[in-house]
Chain A
Amino acid sequence: MVQSVSEPQSAGDVSATRDLHIKAYRFMLLARVLDDKLASLYRAGKILGGVFLGRGQEALSVSIGVGLREGDVFAPLIRDMAGRLAFNESVLDAARTFLGSSLGPMRGRDGNIHRGRPKEGQLAMISHLGAMISVVTGTLFARRMRGVKGTVGVACCGDGSTSTGSFHEAMNQAAVEKLPLVMVVADNQYAYSTPTERQFACRSLVDRAVGYGISGHEVDGTNLSACLKVVGDAIERARAGEGPQLVVASLLRLCGHGEHDDAHYIETKLKASDLGRDCVKLAEAYLSQQSWADAASLASWRSEAIQKVEEATTAAQREPGPDPFVENYWAALSTKNLLEGNE
């Protein structure tokens, strides 16, 4: 269901909204350029392992990143390049992780999307879908015990993840504990190749909110303004103590599940529908329509994004991978005297 965007009230509101849209759009653009570059590096054989992109989901994801504040907790998932960059991740961190540089945040031990800096609020996902949600809940739980107030945690997932037991357990637990968790579900119509009619039987995933006893919100994931409003609102409600919020966005994945997948199973009529519109292009059109950006600024933002991405990926490609003969790589415990020797 498309949420309509209400008219701004005052001049101050207008410039705040304009600034927010521009900031968000520029992160969407940066994410798109980076994703495209990663795709081409993948085809050139420069990337080990899988490449999973967020094409088509930038508007939703970036809304999280710009809606969160420093000190909040964010558990991004597979298609959240825009959100990560907008929250606090550097292009270099992303480039280094994909390109296997030992200088990246995961130091070669994990790769591609399994990256993060937990101490800075961005959790490093594990592959098991739904598993990160209760970890976000746990950080909020601990903060409450310690008397830390005013922070929020956002966890992201797709339609497929909502089928897992860990999603269910975590949502229920967060609701029982009344923690400020915002669960953002990107319903992009497919979980890998599985369409939603094989994934869930309720009318919309947002209906589950009732089951958990929490608030649910739907949003058109292709519309940046709508996403900024709905996601931003949900974050503020949670922050205000209204308990967990479920946001379900409808959009379409504009890439394969991974770059190894050609996504031939996505129905043509879906691609041609409103769901299949490119949120980046829509955002550009909106900015132009609002006279918040002209062709020149769009072009200059784009070339700036390209330059940032080129610099980061070139630098990362020149960096060495991890050296397996360095001792530090083979300790799985931080308590050194409890380590057993690794032959």
Chain B
Amino acid sequence: MSITYLEAIREAQAKALRDDPRVFIYGQDVGAFGGAFKATKGLAKEFPGRVLDSPIAEDAMAGLAIGAALEGMRPILEMQFADFSTVAFNQIVNQAATMFWRTNISCPITVRLPCGGTAGSGPFHSQTMEAIYAHYPGLVVLTPATVEDAYSMLLEAVAIDDPVIFCEHKFLYYHLKADALPTEALPVGKARIARVGRDLTLVTYSAMVHESLAAADELRSEGWEVEVVDLRSVKPLDTDTVIASVARTGRLLCVGEAWPWGGVTAEVITRVVCEGYDLLDAPPQRLNAKDTPVPYHPNLWSAHRPTATSIAAAARKVLQR
């Protein structure tokens, strides 16, 4: 049996709908059509009246989810592409994220964002938005990198009483497979050591975890052992695990698919420098996408984001300092 990242997301939603009558799914084309990426295929039939098509109105979709959450429901909002969530941005960051702090009433919505690019997807179907949402207080931001995490973290997201931004990666949807769904998992808020190493700590998340593992394999043939840390959740960020790893290796490279300015990589490096300055044997570095909109042409796209090759090159620079 083999299950893809996308199927894991579907299974998690099915389980949530089954186990908790407060859960419903709302989004464009999620009903009979099963969603643009088939993340809800078959669910409208299995759970009639609970998997509903919305008009193209991300602001009102988010507002509706918030209102429903106030009434005690647990809505899962599917944005067709992360890039379109900017239309809902106001409701998410100014209404959902402030609800508890302002009124002492929790807002348990889960917003699923299909993030990241594939060759040819272009500027408005490729964005990774975790940094923008993480910046606002009152949100939990998750970036699962594995099939197992896509499953268990989505279930946990629905169970969390606060608004959760669930950043799924489209490239991993069909490409990433696992043998089985997990029976246990690390909780949200804890990072995972995806590969044990010795010479360098490479902190990353989402699709870049896989590129980083490939880079680590390349570097092993040169005698370097790179430790890869999969953040899993970007907010809260597991600073302890990152610092413990840098304590072991003395060197840090952060890799992210998003843009450099104020991104997750900037945040991780800041924390390590502030709290673990004396652990560093070389200046920390980061690798991000180029500071331009995401290009359409595959030639440009593959040069725009970090790849296993460019990650290995960046790692060498840090290792050889």
Contacts and interface: CB of A to CB of B under 8 A. Distances in A.
Contacts of A119: 105
B161 A335 contact: yes
Given A131-B90, A173-B57, A338-B162, A126 B98 contact: yes
A334 interface: yes
Contacts of A335: 140, 160-162
Interface string A204-222: 0000000000000000000
B56 to A, nearest CB: 9
Contacts of A135: 63-64, 66-67, 70, 95
Contacts, number: 142
B235 A136 contact: no
B182 to A, nearest CB: 20
B49 A340 contact: no
B67 A334 contact: no
A138 B91 contact: no
B266 to A, nearest CB: 16
A327 to B, nearest CB: 13
B137 interface: yes
B101 interface: yes
A123 B95 CA distance: 11
A114 B98 CA distance: 12
Given A131-B63, A137-B60, A142-B73, A333 B162 contact: yes
A133 B90 CA distance: 13
A286 interface: no
Nearest to B72: A142
B6 interface: no
A166 B235 CA distance: 28
A340 B234 CA distance: 11
B162 to A, nearest CB: 5
B76 interface: no
Interface string A11-51: 00000000000000000000000000000000000000000
Interface in B100-138: 100-106, 137-138
B237 A340 contact: yes
Interface in B165-222: 188-189
Given A137-B63, A176-B55, A142 B68 contact: yes
Interface string B231-273: 0000111000000000000000000000000000000000000
A128 B140 contact: no
A11 to B, nearest CB: 41
B100 A333 contact: yes
B226 interface: no
Contacts of A118: 70, 103, 105
Given A109-B101, A333-B162, A145 B64 contact: no
A140 B71 CA distance: 9
B60 A166 contact: yes
Nearest to A127: B94
Contacts of B161: 334-335
Interface in A85-139: 105-107, 109-110, 114, 116-119, 123-124, 126-128, 131-139
A137 B61 CA distance: 10
Contacts of A337: 189
A339 interface: yes
A140 B67 CA distance: 8
Given A338-B188, A338-B189, A133 B49 contact: no
Most chain A CB within a 10 A radius of its CB, from B71, B161, B236: B71
A138 B138 contact: no
A106 B65 contact: no
B70 A139 contact: yes
A138 B71 contact: yes
Contacts of A107: 104
B24 interface: yes
19 contacts: A114-B102, A116-B103, A117-B103, A132-B63, A135-B67, A137-B60, A138-B64, A141-B64, A141-B68, A142-B73, A145-B49, A166-B91, A169-B55, A169-B59, A334-B161, A335-B161, A338-B162, A338-B189, A339-B236
Shortest beta-carbon contacts, A-B, top 10 = A138-B67, A134-B63, A169-B60, A169-B57, A142-B71, A138-B64, A332-B137, A142-B68, A135-B67, A134-B60
